[in-house]
Amino acid sequence: MRSLVTGGAGFIGSHLCERLLERGHEVWALDDLSTGRLENLASFERHPRFRFLEGSVMDQSLVTGLVAQSDRVFHLAAAVGVKYVLENPLRSLITNIRGTEAVLQACAEHTRRVVVFSSSEVYGKGVSVPFSEDDDRLMGPTVKLRWSYAAGKAVDECLAQAYWQQQQLPVTVVRCFNTCGPRQSSAYGMVIPNMIQRALRGEPILVFGDGQQSRCFSSVSDVVRGVLLLAESRAAEGEIINIGTDEEVTILELALRVRDVCGSASPIEFVPYEDIYGSSFEDMRRRVPDLGKIERAVGYRPQVTLDQLLEVTVRDTCGEMNLPVPAGLTA
C-alpha cells in the first residue's frame, strides 16, 4: 500500500506519515515547505519506504502523476494558523481552494480513496454547542478577512461533496478541532506551543481577550488514529466528520495548567485581540465538537487527556529548546 500525504512535512502530516510507516505502508510526502519543516521528518526521513518530494499541491501535473502512482491519498496541504492567514489572505485562499481542487481532480481521474482535512473554523460564529456536522453555519462578514480561512475550507468541503455525488469519488472530509502535540510550530499563532515556550523561558504567558473563550485541544496521536480508522471505513465515504476531543477548557485555565506543568513562575498577561490581530478581528467564544458521528462510524473516542497532552508536548519542547525537563515531569 502506497499512501500519498500532501502537506507531509507539516505538523499533523508528519505524524500521519510516521504512523503509516509503522503500519507497513510506503509513504510519499509532498510539501512546498512554506509552513512545513524538514525537521518534522527527521525521525524517519531515511526510512526505506519513505520518500519526500518538494513541490506545490497546486501543480496539477505533479499531483496527478503522484496520485496515479499511489493507492490512497491524505490531503493536508494548506495555509494554516490565524496569524499566517491574516498576513497572507490571498495566498491562503488560493492555496487552500486550488490545491484541494487539484487533489480531488487527480483522485477522481484515477479513482483513489482520499481523506481531505478541513477545520472546525467552518463553524464560524455558531453558538449551537456542541457543533454537529449538519448544523447551519453562521459566518462573519467577508470584509473581515479573518473569516477567509473558514470560507476557503467550506469551499473545499463543497468540492469534496460534489465529487462524491457526481463522480462517486470515495472521499471523506475530517473537521479537525485544535489539534496539538509535539512538532507543532509556534510561528503561526498556535496557542499551546506559544504558551509552553513562554512559560519555559519565564516570560509572561499571553492570554488574548478575557481568557474565558473555550476550546477543545486534541492530541495529534488521537487525530491520526481516528483518521486512519476513517480511511479504512466504507461507511465514511461521502461523509464530513468531526474529529478531536470534547474536553473543554477556557484559555485562561489552559494558561494556568501550562504554567503548572512547566513548573514556571511566569505571570499571566491579558492582551486585547486588537493589539495582536487588528481592530477588525473577531473570535468565537466556544468551540466544542459533537463526536457522535465518528464514534458511531468507527468507534473512535479520544484517549489522551489535556494534561497528558501538555506533559508530552512540554517534554518535546524542552528537547527543541535544549532545556531540562521540569522536575515534576522527570519521573
Active site residues: 149
The answer for residues whose C-beta is within 8 angstroms of residue 129's C-beta and 6 or more apart is 286, 287, 288
Q: Is the dihedral of CA 185, 191, 192, 194 positive or negative?
A: positive
Residues 189, 82 contacting (CB under 8 angstroms): yes
C-alpha grid cell, residue 82: 490565524
Read off the C-alpha cell for 199.
512559560
- Buried (b) or exposed (e) across 158-179, using 16+ Cβ within 10 A? ebbbebbeeeebbbbbbbbbbb
Which sign does the torsion angle of CA 202, 206, 212, 218 carry? negative
Query: CA-CA-CA-CA torsion for 261, 131, 14, 115, nearest 10 degrees?
Result: 160
Written as nine digits, the cell of 164 is: 462524491
Asked whether the beta carbons of 226 and 241 are under 8 A apart, the reply is: no
| DSSP for 203-262, written as a single string | PPEEEETTS--EE--EEHHHHHHHHHHHHT-GGGTT-EEEES----EEHHHHHHHHHHHH
What angle do the packed helices 89-110 and 148-167 form, to 10 degrees?
A: 10
